[in-house]
Amino acid sequence: MIAINLEELRSIIPDLTSSWAGERLDAALFCLDHNGHSSTTKMELTGRNDHCNLSWTTKIDQKIKNTYNDTQEATEKGAEGMAALLVDKLTKYKVVRRSLKGTGIDYWMGHKDESNSGLLFQDAARLEISGLLSGSDSQYSTRVKQKSLQPAPSDNTGLPAYVSVTDFSKPRTTFIKV
Amino acid sequence: MTIAQRHNHAIDLAEKAFALASTDEARARDLFTEAYQIEREIAEGIEARKANEPSRSILYRSAASLALNAELYTQSLAMASAGLRGFPPEEIKLEIQSVFEQATALLAQTAIKTDDATAADLAIIEDWSENALLIEEAKSLDRPILHFALSDAHDHNSISLENLATFTDGWQKMVTNFYKKVYPRSSATIEILNPEYWTMRAFAFTPGSFKLHLEASRRKGLIPTTPLTRVLEVLTAIIETGQEEDLDEELIELLRSYKGHALVSLRNFLGQMVEKGIEVKYKWYDPANYDVYGGRIDIPFANRINHLLHKQTELVRETKTFTGTVRGANDKTGKWLIEDETEGDKKGGTEFKNLLTGVKIGQSYVFTCEEIIYQEEVTMNEKTDLQLIQLKPIK
């Protein structure tokens, strides 16, 4: 069992702005609350035969609910927050970089002990994130399959990638290296 | 600010822009534009080397996407094209290509809506699309690729077989002769004198415009750089310098390094262009050089340089020396024959007949000659005439 305090999001991403972390925290809390979950909820880690114990102290007030009236945005940002927490708990990486991919943000991870001064994406691993506010088993497994389909590396320049898919209804998360 | 801080600032601006996209389009576009400018500056500061990947291509992909969101489609194409010129990992390459295709489609739509921009925008699309194809071919074949286009007064989409044969043959002769000047036998290694380095093969063409896709028979082998690229650089430098009429002195100076056969083949090529009314365009990309280069030779340009090469007769003459045993020498006719140690029998004449007086048959000499290159009137074949200007006995 892995203990995750959601408020840790504020401290584990020093390379991004505090507002980035704050928004993802609020969004994740909104999604969990929306599905009737309260602090010390158990989250299944599918494919790992393990689970996390999710806890928080923040009160989910009307302001948070007003902010995340757009549930799609809340799900995307909430899933990003959950992914960042799992990266911190399960890997030697941290979420440090973003870049624009088409019409969305692409997330990258760098080593926790690495300085951030050189070329931005050297030795970075890609993080593919997806979220479901309330997904059926088939929707969930389809989403995991879609995200896991990386282009086969043509040579040794193929980029390492992790996939994080969170379903806030159960709740459950798949976090795997592809 | 560090690169990381500038980059994070750009992506923060992009996030704000996404949040505003549905409520304040104009402000969102301004933020995307600002973010694009920051990301572009960072990307352009990174050299296109394998060691700089994947950072370089990710940043170019990011800049191309930001420009696309800011509705700056030509800038998006430029960023995508620059990203593809490096060594992007496969997945990033596919994403850059996707941005490239979206920007191309959106630019075409804009051009259709805006009559006065249509021609210019479509020309940009064609140019960038061709660059993307050229780069893709060069990378997949791992050798320099040249796109060689011919057009006549009839149209830009077809060419007569006779002219196709004349100009592909003329181009190959020119490349061959320049190659031999860039890598002279005396100083080049045996490896670099392998004809596979300068002989070219056609492997595809672009439908809709008559454009042959040519590849070098061999890329580099034991040679650290791509030998053919150096020759294409020289030809392009000559064409670029020749575009400016007030740079004739600089052009002549540049041409002096390639005196003889190379300039005769250039003169012949330009002469054929003028005679047959053919224009030539070419572009090439070498995977080791990271950029697309090219040139356009139009008829007024061909005419001017052709005249210049006819006027400057010294440029089509070369000084050559032969060392070996004299087999024949006649101081009345000026004719002579020498068996060169490496090139075999060489014969010629001289205006200075007294030079041959006293020359001993069977003795070794160094003959210094002027090589005059000319075309036979009927066959148009290239011929050379050796005129002795100095000789020294070897003791």
pLDDT of residue B119: 65
Mean pLDDT to the nearest integer, B355-364 = 90
What is the average pLDDT score of chain A?
Answer: 87
Mean pLDDT to the nearest integer, B60-80 = 92
Cβ distance of B66 and A121 shorter than 8 Å: no
Cα–Cα–Cα angle for B268, B261, B182, nearest 5°? 120
> Tell me, what DSSP letter sits at residue B116?
G
Cβ distance of B95 and A100 shorter than 8 Å: no
pLDDT of residue B279: 92
The pLDDT tens digits of the residues spanning B255-273 come to 988 988 889 889 989 999 9
pLDDT of residue B380: 64
The pLDDT tens digits of the residues spanning B304-344 come to 999 988 888 888 777 888 999 999 999 999 999 999 988 88
> Tell me, what DSSP letter sits at residue B354?
G
pLDDT of residue B377 exceeding 80: no
Paired sense of beta strands A161-167 and A125-132, if any: parallel
pLDDT of residue B27: 95
pLDDT of residue B117: 54
A114 pLDDT band (50/70/90 cuts)? low
| % chain B with pLDDT above 90 | 30
Mean pLDDT to the nearest integer, A57-78 = 90
CA distance linking residue B368 with residue B390, whole number of Å? 5
Mean pLDDT to the nearest integer, A114-122 = 70
A153 pLDDT band (50/70/90 cuts)? very low
Query: In this structure, what token pair is assigned to residue B119?
Result: 């021609």
pLDDT of residue B223 exceeding 60: no
Cβ distance of A150 and B91 shorter than 8 Å: yes
Paired sense of beta strands A41-46 and B292-297, if any: unpaired
> Tell me, what DSSP letter sits at residue A152?
P
pLDDT of residue B121 exceeding 80: no
Q: What is the pTM of this model?
A: 0.64
pLDDT of residue A13 exceeding 60: yes
What is the average pLDDT score of chain B?
Answer: 85
pLDDT of residue B216: 82
Residue from A132, A134, A131, A146 nearest A178 by CA:
A146
Cβ distance of B11 and A151 shorter than 8 Å: no
Q: Which residues of A touch B140 (CB under 8 A)?
A: none
B43 pLDDT band (50/70/90 cuts)? very high
Higher pLDDT, A120 or B202: B202
pLDDT of residue B187 exceeding 80: no
Mean pLDDT to the nearest integer, A116-133 = 83
> Tell me, what DSSP letter sits at residue B94?
H
Residue type, B198: W
Cβ distance of B58 and A158 shorter than 8 Å: no
CB of A69 within 8 Å of a chain B CB? The answer is no
Looking at CA atoms only, how far is residue A1 from chain B in angstroms? 34
Mean pLDDT to the nearest integer, A18-27 = 93
CB of A156 within 8 Å of a chain B CB? The answer is no
Mean pLDDT to the nearest integer, B114-143 = 73
Cβ distance of A119 and B52 shorter than 8 Å: yes
CB of A98 within 8 Å of a chain B CB? The answer is yes
- Residues A58-63: contacts with CB under 8 Å, at least 24 apart: A58/A6, A58/A7, A58/A25, A58/A26, A58/A29, A60/A29, A60/A30, A60/A33
Cβ distance of A17 and B12 shorter than 8 Å: yes
Alpha helices in B45-88 (DSSP H): 55-69, 73-85
Nearest CA in chain B to A157: B89
pLDDT of residue B5: 87
pLDDT of residue B17 exceeding 90: yes
Weakest mean pLDDT among A109-118, A123-132, A139-148, B248-257 = A109-118
B250 pLDDT band (50/70/90 cuts)? confident
Q: Tell which of B6, B20, B44, B62 to mutate to test the A interface (max A CBs under 10 Å).
A: B62
Cβ distance of B65 and A122 shorter than 8 Å: no
Mean pLDDT to the nearest integer, B118-128 = 68
Looking at CA atoms only, how far is residue A89 from chain B in angstroms? 24
Higher pLDDT, B38 or A161: B38
Higher pLDDT, B224 or B145: B145
Residue A14's contacts (CB-CB under 8 Å, 6 or more residues apart) are A94
pLDDT of residue B118: 59
- Taken in order B273, B274, B279, B280, the sign of the CA dihedral is positive
Mean pLDDT to the nearest integer, B160-186 = 89
Alpha helices in B86-184 (DSSP H): 90-113, 118-141, 161-182
Q: Is the peptide bond before B54 cis (omega within 30 degrees of 0)?
A: yes
Query: In this structure, what token pair is assigned to residue B211?
Result: 């454009």
Burial of A66 from C-beta contacts in 10 A (0-12 / 13-18 / 19+): exposed
pLDDT of residue B319: 81
pLDDT of residue A157 exceeding 60: no
Mean pLDDT to the nearest integer, A57-61 = 90
pLDDT of residue A110: 86
User: What residues of B are in the A interface, CB distance below 8 Å?
Assistant: 2-4, 7-8, 11-12, 14-15, 18, 35, 39, 42, 46, 50, 52-56, 58-59, 61-62, 65-66, 68-69, 87, 89-92, 94-95, 98-99, 102
Q: Which residues of A touch B102 (CB under 8 A)?
A: 102
- Taken in order B338, B344, B348, B352, the sign of the CA dihedral is negative
A172 pLDDT band (50/70/90 cuts)? very high
CB of A117 within 8 Å of a chain B CB? The answer is yes
Mean pLDDT to the nearest integer, B134-159 = 83
Residue from A96, A90, A92, A28 nearest A56 by CA:
A28
Mean pLDDT to the nearest integer, B365-394 = 81
| % chain B with pLDDT above 70 | 90
Cβ distance of B69 and A120 shorter than 8 Å: no
Q: Which residues of B touch A151 (CB under 8 A)?
A: 90-91, 94
Comparing CB atoms, the residue among B8, B46, B91 nearest residue A159 is B91
